[in-house]
Amino acid sequence: MCHCAALLGKDGMMTDRYVLDKSVRTNDAVRASYNELTAKTFGFTFEEWYRQGFWTDKNVPYALRDGTKVISNVSVNPMDILWNGEMRRYVQLGTVMTDPEYRGRGLARILISEILKDWRDRCDAMFLFANDSVLDFYPRFGFIRESTYQFRRPVIPNPGGMRRLNMECGADRELLRSCYLKSNPFSQLTVVNNFELLMFYSISFMKNCIFYLKKFDAVIIAEYEDTVMTCYDIFCDPHQELDAILSAAAKEDTAFADLGFSPVSVGTCVPTEEKGDTLFLLKGKENIWKGRQLTFPHLFHT
């Protein structure tokens, strides 16, 4: 779906007409330009994700084009969220970028306004994660800032029986899928029905961090640095025990596990201090973060 978007310059006068394109994924030339801009902005592309069939309508770029050149984008990611046993429909905004040559023309403002028009009444909540350079930008659209938390648990290592899954192996991918469908029983807040987004990370940044624990029939996604294991997510049956899985996945020198999700049993937590990852939620919609110690599952950030 495409249409022309009238844009105002800094002086409020009409300056250009660009094409607003909501069908980037299905147009080879436009998708190539989109990938060029993501590479320039973030250092990666979505092409492999697309070629492997995981880029679906659960990720919808709202892109402005100058001809076939993508010059600005904000993507819409509809998500099914399980919270307190109830299903919610959330929308996460991501891949916010503008080509340096076209900045200062109000392009992101046009895109977010269009997204709000299309999606505000079609979701229970809308949110995004912003970098430090735009913390004053999103409140102009009614987004409010919320705190997130980092959760840490002590670990007594008891390693054994863990193997790395090979994301180029069909059987290992299917094993990851079957465990993902069981969800994360230790998390207060889970993203369901979105194996596609998990695979974005699993075939790229996290491809060497996915492990299977046969004893627990569980998949754990984790990285290790010094005495800390960062456990991004765990997928398994609900009768398993979190601490037992963490111990089995630990290395001999692991002392702590930092969790990339909000555990049911909170334990030790501190406000997130990582810069460039500030949570904003649209005012007037559901806000489960208010007054609670929560984080959004790290592997489902967009």
CB count, 10 Å around CB of 15?
13
Q: What are phi and psi of 58, to 5 degrees?
A: -85, 0
Count of alpha carbons within 13 angstroms of residue 173, beta-carbon side? 14
* Predicted local confidence at residue 274, as pLDDT: 64
End-to-end CA distance of the chain: 22
Count of alpha carbons within 13 angstroms of residue 35, beta-carbon side? 16
* Predicted local confidence at residue 293, as pLDDT: 92
* Predicted local confidence at residue 133, as pLDDT: 82
Q: What is the 3-state secondary structure (H, E, C) of the chain?
A: CEEEEEEECCCCCEEEEEEEECCHHHCHHHHHHHHHHHHHHHCCCCHHHHHCCCCCCCCEEEEEEECCEEEEEEEEEEEEEEECCEEEEEEEEEEEEECHHHCCCCHHHHHHHHHHHHHHHHCCEEEEEECHHHCCCHHHHCEEEECCEEEEEECCCCCCCEEECCCCCHHHHHHHHHHHCCCCCCECEEEECCHHHHHHHHCCCCCCCEEEEHHHCEEEEEEEECCEEEEEEEECCCCCCHHHHHHHHCCCCCCEEEECCCECCCCEEEECCCCCCEEEEECCCCCCCCCCCCCCCHHHCC
pTM for the model: 0.92
* Predicted local confidence at residue 134, as pLDDT: 86
* Predicted local confidence at residue 193, as pLDDT: 97
* Predicted local confidence at residue 122, as pLDDT: 97
* Predicted local confidence at residue 296, as pLDDT: 96
Residues of the chain with pLDDT under 50: 6, 8-15
> Alpha-carbon distance 61 to 228, whole Å?
36
210-213: strand order across its sheet: 162-164, 210-213, 218-225, 228-235, 256-259, 149-154, 268-271
* Predicted local confidence at residue 14, as pLDDT: 32
